[in-house]
Copies of this chain bind each other. A is one copy, B any other.
Amino acid sequence: MTATVAAPQDGPLAMICGGGSLPMAVADLARAQGREVVLFPLVGAAEGLPVERFRHHWIHIGQINKFVTLAREAGCRDVVFIGAVIRPSIWQTRFGVKDLLWLSRALKAFRGGDDHLLSSMARLLEDEGFTLRGAHEVAPQILAPEGVTGHAQPSEADRADIAFGTAYLDAASPYDIGQAVVVANRHILAVEAIEGTDQMLTRVAELRANGRIRAAKGGVLVKAPKRGQDRRFDLPSIGPQTVDGAVRAGLAGVAVVAGATVVADAEQLVAAADRAGVFILGLPSGASS
């Protein structure tokens, strides 16, 4: 992965923000590098974030013209999409008059998988002269490092499960589904589709509680970016809640792809992993893809 760090001289950075802890972490890191940041928090997703610490404009999903106008006025050329956004209903999306010009193309974007949705939105913005940047380009510190982070180490059996999970995710990748799987003893216990990693881990915890998984402990969570995924806006991410979910699911650890996974609240994440004796492993980037 080549992470070109966008420099302050590139002008202010426009960040379209969903929920979760990542948007503010990335904004703070970009500002720490001397870059001005303008936030565009999304109504229905970014509520509760301390956006007032930055210049900001609330927007609705679909208000492309409002974003384009305000971001241009602010002198932004680089745009980052970051944070959790529930896939919107086209009927809940707000469109202004000029937005309707984009509507036929946007509607097409809503028909495919998430990758298709996001890459279509990226093209719309690029046609307007913006450059879409990955969060890792403006704040490379948020990416998972290679190797073990924290105290716990994966066993040989864990490594075999990780290889099995990675191979499955690679095979499933063309179908544009979730990026995560739980494997124990080379047996797939759960596959993430649209429910998300946290809910998948809750399911594994339930399957353990009700005896469908008989072993009380063991297994790994494997997350990997989809093959051909545009890493500018859809990297897999983990955070302390991922570790909590893995602990509740009785897992031995979590494996992600180094340099291609965003880590939210890294300190808390490692502290939680160390408390629970759960390993966190960054796989070499070439191992998947």
A contact set with B: CB distance below 8 Å: 86-89, 91-92, 111-113, 164, 167-168, 171-172, 174-177, 182, 185-195, 203, 207, 211-215
Task: Provide the bound-state CA to CA distance between A171 and B191, in Å.
Answer: 14
Task: Provide the bound-state CA to CA distance between A190 and B87, in Å.
Answer: 15
Q: Are B86 and A187 in contact (CB under 8 A)?
A: no
Give chain B nearest CB distance to A74 CB in angstroms: 32
Q: Are B191 and A177 in contact (CB under 8 A)?
A: yes
6 interchain residue pairs of minimum CB distance: A89-B214, A191-B191, A177-B188, A168-B175, A190-B193, A171-B171
* 23 A-B pairs in the complex with CB atoms less than 8 angstroms apart: A86-B211, A86-B212, A87-B212, A88-B214, A111-B186, A112-B187, A113-B188, A164-B175, A167-B175, A168-B172, A168-B177, A171-B175, A175-B188, A176-B187, A176-B188, A182-B193, A189-B193, A190-B193, A190-B194, A190-B195, A194-B213, A195-B207, A195-B212
For A91, the closest partner residue in chain B by CB is: B214
Additional A-B contact list (14), CB under 8 Å, known A176-B187, A189-B193, A190-B194: A87-B212, A87-B214, A88-B214, A92-B214, A111-B185, A111-B186, A168-B175, A171-B172, A177-B188, A182-B193, A187-B194, A190-B193, A191-B191, A191-B193
Chain B residues near A207 (CB, 8 Å)?
194-195
Chain B residues near A214 (CB, 8 Å)?
87-89, 91-92
Q: Are A194 and B186 in contact (CB under 8 A)?
A: no
For A167, the closest partner residue in chain B by CB is: B175
Task: Provide the bound-state CA to CA distance between A189 and B88, in Å.
Answer: 15
Task: Provide the bound-state CA to CA distance between A283 and B113, in Å.
Answer: 25
Chain B residues near A168 (CB, 8 Å)?
172, 175, 177
Select A194's contact among B91, B189, B194, beta carbons within 8 Å.
Answer: B189
For A165, the closest partner residue in chain B by CB is: B175
**Taking A171-B174, A171-B175, A172-B172 as contacts, is the C-beta distance between A212 and B187 under 8 angstroms?**
no
Chain B residues near A185 (CB, 8 Å)?
111
For A191, the closest partner residue in chain B by CB is: B191
Task: Provide the bound-state CA to CA distance between A177 and B189, in Å.
Answer: 8
